[in-house]
Homo-oligomer: A and B are copies of this chain.
Amino acid sequence: MEPELIQHLRNSLASSPRLRIGLGDDAAILHWHDREDLVVTTDLISDEIDFLLAEVDPRRVGRKALAVNLSDLAAMGAEPIAAVVSLLLPKRPPQGTTLELATKLYEGMLPLCEQFDCVVAGGDTNSWSGPLAISVTAFGSCGAAPPLLRSAAKPGDVLLVTGQLGGSIVGHHFDFTPRVNEARKLAVEGLAHAAMDISDGLLLDLSRMLKESAVSAVVDLPAVPVSPAAAKLAESSGKTPLQHALSDGEDFELLFTASPEAAAKLASEGLLGTSVTVIGTLVAGEGIWADHVGGKRLEPQGFLHQ
């Protein structure tokens, strides 16, 4: 969402006691009457921006539409409960009929639903002369565990990521596994302080976490786990593999902070069932700093001003 609009909404909406966590995190947390907290997120993907319908199996598109929302629930440490799906279907899809397209989109979602025990609770299906767009709203619950918030990072924390970063455009942005199970383990066992998912690039998303937490980070650039896809892209992009890993969008990995003790355990013992890498430490102050170049400041866009 555009920063100006977020600010406008924050000013308009900030006062409701029902909105425990609202704009500025990966998902909202609602609290009303005596019910337990409900974690809610919504994410819309559309043709030509998030995928090219003419070039991809619609099942992968449907899967992605749900997966990006499950990734947002994971970012809060929530377990998925249900999702609702609004479709805007082109009247003349690149292949097949509109109904076939809708059916394939759902076919792509259902295995992921099953994998993460998430029910499709309903939807709204429309056809029009425009391109395909899919809006998913997903609900989850943190249960008895406290949610993982962007604002909970503290000086002295260690910064970690799951998986490998960069080059998602090659295919990972369709096929990634939302880090629901990893995040639930972090939340339930109290292993993480702050967390978010990396959707717009490591440095840009990190800058958001730091802003919400009012802290600074020193990133150990050589430690950042670079994906083979980032290395492949770098062969022709004019960027280094590391630059791809720092700035490419749609990694959908977890970026989180932990105490040094928890971080050491997580990085060495494979507790999450997924690779976890220490990439830096949090300090008082503001901004993102690269320690290996004598304390140079990194721009959130991912360009290293050397």
Contacts and interface: CB of A to CB of B under 8 A. Distances in A.
A129 B81 contact: no
Q: Which of A18, A41, A123 has the most CB of B within 10 A?
A: A123
A32 B141 contact: yes
B82 A121 contact: no
Interface string A114-127: 00000111111110
A120 B16 CA distance: 9
A200 to B, nearest CB: 13
**Copies of this polypeptide in the complex:** 2
A137 interface: yes
A28 B119 CA distance: 11
A230 interface: no
Interface string A71-85: 000000000011011
B125 A2 contact: yes
Interface stretch (A44-52, A158-166, A177-185, A237-245): A44-52
A82 B122 contact: no
A123 B25 CA distance: 11
A141 B32 CA distance: 10
A41 B141 CA distance: 18
Given A1-B125, A5-B99, A38-B139, 19 more contacts: A1-B124, A9-B123, A19-B82, A22-B121, A27-B122, A28-B82, A32-B82, A33-B143, A40-B121, A41-B84, A42-B84, A42-B124, A46-B130, A86-B86, A88-B133, A128-B131, A130-B131, A130-B133, A133-B133
Interface of A: 1-2, 4-5, 8-9, 12-13, 16, 18-19, 22-23, 27-28, 30, 32-33, 35-36, 38, 40-44, 46, 48-49, 81-82, 84-88, 99, 102-103, 106, 110, 119-126, 128-131, 133, 135, 137, 139, 141, 143
